[in-house]
Amino acid sequence: MKYRKFGNLDWEASVLGFGAMRLPIIGKDPSNVDEPKAIEMIRYAVDHGVNYIDTAYPYHEKRGEIVVGRALLNGYREKVKLAPSWLVETPDDFDCFLNEQLEKLQTDHIDFYLLHALNKPYWTKLRDWEVLKWAEGAIADGRIQYLGFSFHDDFDVFKEIVDAFDKWTFCQIQYNFMDIEYQAGTKGLQYAAKKGLAVLIMEPLRGGQLTAKIPKSVSELWESAKVHRSPADWALQWIWNHTQVSVLLSGMSTMEQVIENLGSADRSGAGSLSKEELILIDKVREEYRRIAPIACTNCKYCMPCPSGVEIPAILEYYNDAIIYDNPRAPRFLYRNLSEDKRANQCVECFECEEKCPQGIPISEHLKEAHAWLNK
């Protein structure tokens, strides 16, 4: 296992962190975790050098933390740093959630505590509820050692949150070779690292999209490389190539994935990819974008929509469903949009099409997207 400095802390984290979001389950019920397999996987990873375990209150229908707690019995808790997160709805939830998590995880303290899935509305709500003052109290009484956050919004919001609190220790962002400008993106990675925060990467494989049902033209590009790697290894090595990355989180579901990822971690290194390899990955990104059905560059010139439709996001969801031949995640994201922001709210005023530098027939694509994503 390889290790990297964790932001400004005098501690080194394993470059691979175990994400407990996709533990093995029995059947199709996400709450029915196959505990013996999950525990075996977590302990195997720890035995092979992983020292960072990520979990969250909602995972596996609120049972994920219980399984992680059991996996860390018999001396394993002392070998790792534990990083759970929450999702509160009222200020009264702060202590309630934390205390419940401590009980589930069978520990008296949380090493790295995350404010979960921050975006502009949720951050504004938590800030007004004085969550940072509460967190300082939880740090003072020993229940939390360090505070961080996971993030899902654009760079300006990310920068605002980073700058709002001088005691952040770490942050967690979605980042992969396809999403260099998505949400916090490369700018966010660099900004947080410059401020001394440890940066953790989630969705390095885009929820498996970069490894499943790979288009033939993309496979041919990977096969043209002098050094042959699996698509998963290419994606992970690209993340680890960034000096600003402290930990890459992988939500592993099988022992085979654990073993494969441990091997990738052993081969990793900041700045280890050659110029030719980085060019190849750029070509793969361009090829994925070329085969997208809609030539949207996410420039957002079409916004704001007079009818409130989230045009760039919807077109992106539709593109992803087609490119990766997997509509499940895009449909989930689309259903999470409030109904007044979905594509069927378009009144065909064509204001967006007049602004679009790509000349995209947006109103027609919105109809296609709604028909596909609303299933």
Residue 237: is its pLDDT beyond 90?
yes
CB atoms within 10 A of CB 156: 10
User: What ranges do the domains of the chain cover?
Assistant: 3-281, 311-373
Residue 192: is its pLDDT beyond 90?
yes
Strand ranges in the chain using DSSP code E only, listed in sequence order: 3-5, 12-14, 16-19, 52-54, 81-83, 110-118, 144-151, 168-174, 198-202, 245-251
Task: Tell me the average pLDDT across 295-300.
Answer: 75
What is the reported pLDDT for 210? 86
Q: How many residues does the chain have?
A: 375
Q: Among the CATH numbers 3.90.1170.50, 3.40.1360.10, 3.20.20.100, 3.30.410.10, which is that of 3-281?
A: 3.20.20.100
What is the reported pLDDT for 93? 86
CA-to-CA distance for 87 and 208, rounded, in angstroms? 24
CA-to-CA distance for 226 and 221, rounded, in angstroms? 11
Task: Tell me the average pLDDT across 224-252.
Answer: 95
Task: Tell me the average pLDDT across 295-319.
Answer: 88
What is the reported pLDDT for 89? 78
Q: CA angle, corner 236, sides to 232 and 239, nearest 5?
A: 150
Per-position b or e across 14-46, b if 16+ CB within 10 A of its CB: bbbbbbbbbbbbeeeeeeebbbebbbebbbebb
Task: Tell me the average pLDDT across 205-213.
Answer: 82
Question: Quick one: DSSP state of residue 246?
Answer: E
Q: Write the pLDDT tens digit of every residue in 141-173.
A: 999 999 999 998 889 999 999 999 989 999 999
pLDDT-above-90 percentage for the chain: 73
Task: Tell me the average pLDDT across 330-352.
Answer: 93
Read off the tokens for 347: 């009144």
Task: Tell me the average pLDDT across 288-302.
Answer: 81
Least confident of 24-38, 314-328, 329-343: 314-328
Residue 245: is its pLDDT beyond 80?
yes
Task: Tell me the average pLDDT across 276-298.
Answer: 88
What is the reported pLDDT for 53? 94
What is the reported pLDDT for 328? 86
Task: Tell me the average pLDDT across 215-242.
Answer: 94
Residue 343: is its pLDDT beyond 90?
yes
What is the reported pLDDT for 117? 85
Residue 36: is its pLDDT beyond 80?
yes
What is the reported pLDDT for 90? 84
Task: Tell me the average pLDDT across 181-206.
Answer: 93
Question: Quick one: DSSP state of residue 207?
Answer: T
Task: Tell me the average pLDDT across 103-112.
Answer: 92
Q: Write the pLDDT tens digit of every residue in 44-94.
A: 999 999 999 999 888 888 899 999 999 999 999 999 998 887 767 788 889
Q: How confident is the model at residue 221 (pLDDT cuts 50, 70, 90)?
A: very high
CA-to-CA distance for 286 and 305, rounded, in angstroms? 28
Question: Token pair 């938590």 is at which residue?
Answer: 126
Q: How confident is the model at residue 215 (pLDDT cuts 50, 70, 90)?
A: confident
Q: Write the pLDDT tens digit of every residue in 115-135.
A: 988 989 889 999 999 999 999
Average pLDDT, the chain: 92
Residue 209: is its pLDDT beyond 90?
no
Least confident of 36-50, 294-308, 356-370: 294-308
